[in-house]
Amino acid sequence: MRPSINFLAVDLGASNGRVFCGRWNGKKFELHELHRFFNRSVDVVGHLHWDVLRLWSEVKTGLSYYSQQYNKEVAGIGVDAWGVDFAMLDKAGRLLGNPYSYRDRRTEQISKAVFAQVPEREVFKKTGVQSWPINSLFQIFSMVQNADPQLEAASTFLMIPDLFTFWLCGVRAVELTVGSTSEMLQIDHPQWAYDLLTRLGIPSDFLPSITKPGTTLGPLRSALASEMNFTGTPPVLAVATHDTASTVAAIPGMNQDSIFISSGTWSLMGVQTARPVTSPQALNLGFSNERGASGSVLLLCNIPGLWPLQECMRQWQLRGSSYTWGGLTRLAEEAKGFRSLINPDALDFVAPQDMLVSIRDFCRRTNQQMPDSAGAFTRCCIESLSLRYRQVLESLESLVQRRLSCVRVAGGGCLNRLLCQFTANATNRAVIAGPVEASVLGNIMTQAIAIGHIKNFSEGSEAIASSIRLSSFEPRKTDAWEEAFQRFRKLL
């Protein structure tokens, strides 16, 4: 039996970041959280930015905790994070500005200008990605339109996880899975869509090479290794750096009958396919094709997941009332069902000043009772999200032309047992929840594959299954949910 080996995983989300040590003993994975820290966009003179320098400081703090707790060499380091956002570097590798948040309003009216030059259908056929204003393509196009000086000075474009990988090892490259969220890559070939960018007047000389998951990029910078008190300079590996791709890779039991939901601030709901689906129907139904860790395509729909409820929690805290997730769940269970429903995808909820006010305004505008308590708001958010899952399920089945019998939920949202049960009720499907730390496990599993300790992703998935405990939820009270779904559809 091989001795155990330790990996370090940096996992950056839109609401928090974590640094984990993952131990592989030849049969199972064990996770140890070294450091957790909050993340939130910062409003600077009317624009939303990410404070990546503070995040970098937190990442270094988390890495430094490893040598304080373990007397063992690190076998590898990998970074995964959210998609679409990016940073620009100059020739010397210096950051040209704090990256914008995808929730910044600078791209709100940009779609018409893009489609005036290249029709939406053509963009979708080329990239396989749904044309959301948050995507990198629209963000850069807005920079072109506004003559942003960063474009003149930029030497390298890096997606968010690639920026942190660069700071770790000095290699400038964009990893395939996160690059596929940009709407700037060809869907049928791992290369930038240069012809599309040229037609839109977007420079391409700052776009680096594309790497695949499992690529060894280089050793950790020696100065960082010394600062972290590491023994030697462990390799920095390109994992599936889009957190959704890492999450899906870590879900045990995925097969052709399974739907995945990567559940957190966003919910990414979809299926794995061998080839992209770029039909007009897929475009009209709001689906994207993103790259998976193992070479598959993730045909998915991007849904604002727990974001509305997270914002409600923030507003309650500003008003002097702090709630835990468990406390809100108990209040929601006591609240009346199907009293208020919202469309999670409505523009009202993208970046409101006050989510509580936005939800009440939406309910008033749609002739519904307005939530009047924390339990009522929570139940509104969770029921509405579950019903949205039902709608996406039906759309997926129409695209893949088969019944999808099992919903597999992973990520932080699978801890919300009420959401899991409501999802089972709304979809009338069994729900299997877990793993919670899916993106971290996918990150570490890819590292173990890259250095030869696991043969492939299939073997890695089996190892994860033996390392965790899953929870199951069966549908209940489906008649009431069917009636609620018909009401929900009218809101859309």
62: domain CATH number?
3.30.420.40
> Which residues are CB-neighbours of 443 under 8 A, at least 6 positions away?
9, 10, 11, 22, 78, 79, 80, 239, 240, 246
Of 401, 324, 135, 124, which is closest to residue 242 (Cα–Cα)?
Answer: 135
In a domain, 449, yes or no: no
Indicate the DSSP class of residue 318.
Answer: H
Over residues 310-347, the pLDDT tens digits come to 999 999 999 999 999 999 999 999 999 999 999 999 99
User: Is residue 351 very low, low, confident or very high in pLDDT (cuts 50, 70, 90)?
Assistant: confident
Q: What is the pLDDT of residue 121?
A: 97
430, 391: one domain:
yes
Task: Map residue 118 onto helix, strand or coil.
Answer: coil
Residue 243 known to be catalytic: yes
Over residues 478-491, the pLDDT tens digits come to 999 999 999 999 98
In a domain, 115, yes or no: yes
185, 260: one domain:
no
Which of 243, 257, 345, 361 is flagged as catalytic?
Answer: 243
382, 233: one domain:
no
Query: Is the pLDDT reported for residue 189 higher than 70?
Result: yes
In a domain, 444, yes or no: no
**Residue at which a domain ends, from 204, 238, 272:** 238
Over residues 95-115, the pLDDT tens digits come to 999 999 999 999 988 999 999
- Is residue 430 within 8 Å of 473, Cβ to Cβ? yes
Task: Map residue 100 onto helix, strand or coil.
Answer: strand
200, 260: one domain:
no
Q: What is the pLDDT of residue 492?
A: 85
Please tell me the distance from the alpha carbon of residue 236 to that of residue 9, in angstroms, as a whole number: 10
Domain count along the chain: 2
Please tell me the distance from the alpha carbon of residue 110 to that of residue 473, in angstroms, as a whole number: 42
262, 164: one domain:
no
178, 259: one domain:
no
Over residues 404-426, the pLDDT tens digits come to 999 999 999 999 999 999 999 99
Q: Which two tokens stand for residue 444?
A: 């570490």
Please tell me the distance from the alpha carbon of residue 323 to that of residue 487, in angstroms, as a whole number: 30
Concatenated DSSP letters for 403-469? ---EEEEESGGGG-HHHHHHHHHHHTSEEEE--TTHHHHHHHHHHHHHTTSS--HHHHHHHHHTTS-
In a domain, 140, yes or no: yes
Indicate the DSSP class of residue 86.
Answer: E
Please tell me the distance from the alpha carbon of residue 39 to that of residue 17, in angstroms, as a whole number: 7
Over residues 272-298, the pLDDT tens digits come to 999 999 999 999 999 999 999 999 999
In a domain, 445, yes or no: no
- Range 444-465 average pLDDT: 96
In a domain, 98, yes or no: yes
Of 239, 175, 180, 238, which is closest to residue 209 (Cα–Cα)?
Answer: 175
- Is residue 450 within 8 Å of 216, Cβ to Cβ? yes
Over residues 198-243, the pLDDT tens digits come to 999 999 999 999 999 999 999 999 999 999 999 999 999 999 999 9
14, 129: one domain:
yes
- Range 173-191 average pLDDT: 96
Q: Mean of the per-residue pLDDT values for the chain?
A: 96
76, 197: one domain:
yes
Over residues 46-95, the pLDDT tens digits come to 999 999 999 999 999 999 999 999 999 999 999 999 999 999 999 999 99
204, 89: one domain:
yes
Please tell me the distance from the alpha carbon of residue 304 to that of residue 346, in angstroms, as a whole number: 9
Range of the domain at 170: 5-238
- Range 385-398 average pLDDT: 98
Please tell me the distance from the alpha carbon of residue 174 to that of residue 160, in angstroms, as a whole number: 9
Concatenated DSSP letters for 4-56? PEEEEEEEE-SSEEEEEEEEE-SS-EEEEEEEEEE---EEETTEEE--HHHHH
189, 299: one domain:
no
**Residue at which a domain ends, from 182, 207, 238:** 238
For residue 182, the tally of other CB atoms under 10 A from its CB is 25
In a domain, 25, yes or no: yes
Q: What is the pLDDT of residue 2?
A: 62
pTM of this structure:
0.95
Over residues 235-280, the pLDDT tens digits come to 999 999 999 999 999 999 999 999 999 999 999 999 999 999 999 9
210, 299: one domain:
no
Please tell me the distance from the alpha carbon of residue 492 to that of residue 490, in angstroms, as a whole number: 5
In a domain, 133, yes or no: yes
278, 133: one domain:
no
Q: What is the pLDDT of residue 197?
A: 98
CA of residue 421 relative to chain centroid, distance: 22
- Is residue 215 within 8 Å of 450, Cβ to Cβ? yes
